[in-house]
Chains A and B, each alone.
Chain A
């Protein structure tokens, strides 16, 4: 999903850096609120709510049509990547 979106945005899909967060301490250190978290130039593509606890959990995303999903809305991902390209 991410690599396809990167290709569509004109980015090199091989430039993805995959990080495994496997301890609560690592989650705290990296302000990791769940998997998957996608950051573009360090910025989360969907900023988590204030006070969201860090930890080893699945991430909750809300799609534009209101549905809850373990994955971000493809359009949100696409918009974030295109904004990064534009900047």
Chain B
């Protein structure tokens, strides 16, 4: 499965690290970023601060950001629900919810492959960008500019010039 550009994203209802549930279809954000991440993948960790910066920088424009961990915690206990909460707490909080997709059904429905794997949705929850945050996980100066470019376009009512890039990272750890 998976979603194509322009297609409405499948809805989900997932618990966050703090126990609250989040439904994709709730709310009226002008743009939504959904991205797969986890606790142990070095690529996800390398891009982590850039993703949090995007969430902070676009909050005042109403952008909603949701991180999802779908990894199999049985084989990767560092990605358990408990470990997610501990990580957010040790970070002093995140500017966005960290959701747990224990069944992996959401990752499967969306066709998510890696951590990180980003999806930018417009106000109708239709896919406008899918891929990596930027061109180089090793260079913080890249600043997740592919993601920012896509968000700027969606917020301006334009199509992103770069609508798809190759997700780079560890594969999701399937059951």
Contact = CB atoms under 8 A, between A and B. Distances in A.
The prevalent SS among residues of A at the interface is loop
A16 B32 CA distance: 47
Interface stretch (B4-12, B18-26, B38-46, B158-166): B38-46
A61 B75 contact: no
Interface residues of A, number: 13
A56 B75 contact: yes
B140 A58 contact: no
B75 A59 contact: no
B169 to A, nearest CB: 8
Interface string B63-75: 0000000000001
B76 interface: yes
Contacts, number: 37
Interface string B94-130: 0000000000000000000000000000000000000
A70 B42 contact: yes
Contacts of B170: 57-58, 70
Given A53-B78, A58-B170, A67 B46 contact: yes
B41 A58 contact: yes
Given A67-B138, A67-B140, A69-B138, A58 B42 contact: yes
Contact of B40 (A58, A61, A69): A58
Contacts of A60: 40-42, 45
A61 B42 contact: yes
A70 B114 CA distance: 14
B42 A69 contact: yes
B77 interface: yes
Interface of A: 24, 53, 55-61, 67-70
